[in-house]
Amino acid sequence: MTKLYTSEEDLIKACKAQNTQAQFFLFENYKIAMFNLIYRICNDYDQANDHLQEGFIEVFRNIKNFREESTLGAWIKSIMIRKTLKGISSKIKFEKLNEQIQANDLLLDQWIDGEMLDKAIRNLPESSRTVFVLYEIEGYSHDEISKMLKVSTGTSKSQLHYAKKILQKSLSKN
Listed in sequence order, the residues at least 6 apart from 21 whose beta carbon sits closer than 8 Å to its beta carbon are 4, 14
Give a yes or no: residue 145 inside a domain: yes
| pTM summary value | 0.72
Give a yes or no: residue 153 inside a domain: yes
Shared-domain flag, residues 108 and 81 = no
Shared-domain flag, residues 20 and 59 = yes
Give a yes or no: residue 39 inside a domain: yes
Give a yes or no: residue 44 inside a domain: yes
Shared-domain flag, residues 84 and 121 = no
Say what the pLDDT of residue 106 is.
Answer: 43
Show the domain range for 168: 103-173
| Structural domains in the chain (count) | 2
Q: What is the average per-residue pLDDT within 81-108?
A: 62
Shared-domain flag, residues 81 and 122 = no
Shared-domain flag, residues 48 and 83 = yes
Give a yes or no: residue 3 inside a domain: no
Which pLDDT tens digit goes with each residue over 43-91?
899 999 999 999 999 999 999 999 888 899 999 999 999 999 988 865 6
Confidence of residue 97 (pLDDT cuts 50, 70, 90): low
Cβ atoms of 41 and 88 closer than 8 Å: yes
* Angle (nearest 5°) at CA 59 between 136 and 75: 40
Label residues 112-137 b or e (16+ Cβ within 10 Å = b): eeeeeeeebbeebeebbbbbbbbbee
Give a yes or no: residue 132 inside a domain: yes
Q: What is the average per-residue pLDDT within 152-171?
A: 90
Shared-domain flag, residues 73 and 108 = no
